[in-house]
Amino acid sequence: MTCASPSHSSFRAATGFDLWGAFAGLKTVDSLVVRGAHSDLLSADTVERMKAENPAMESVIVPNVGHAPTLEEPEAAEAIDRLLARIRT
């Protein structure tokens, strides 16, 4: 996994790390990815691959926000509440 695109290799080339292998360890873990709609670091394609790799993951897109949503946006807060409800059971 790279920040911008699942096929982009600059992170791996620069660091020697392929994060998709580590991400595979979360395959059955309930999780959440919150992406700002205007993020230039976490691409929509990467989020789609993350969801494909981990069917237990929910994703939410926060409109009109860049890379770092505050998590106080209604979309983010509601998704966090859903995640907490799932993992508390």
pLDDT along the chain (89 residues), means of 10: 46 70 89 96 93 93 95 97 91
Asked if 59 and 47 touch (Cβ cutoff 8 Å), the reply is yes
pLDDT on residue 4: 46
pLDDT on residue 19: 86
- pTM (2 decimals)? 0.77
In the chain, the N- to C-terminal Cα span, in Å, equals 30
**Burial state string for 58-71 with b = 16 or more CB within 10 A and e = fewer than 16:** bbbbbeebeeebee
pLDDT on residue 14: 57
pLDDT on residue 17: 77
Q: Name the residue ranges covered by the structural domains of the chain.
A: 10-88
pLDDT on residue 80: 97
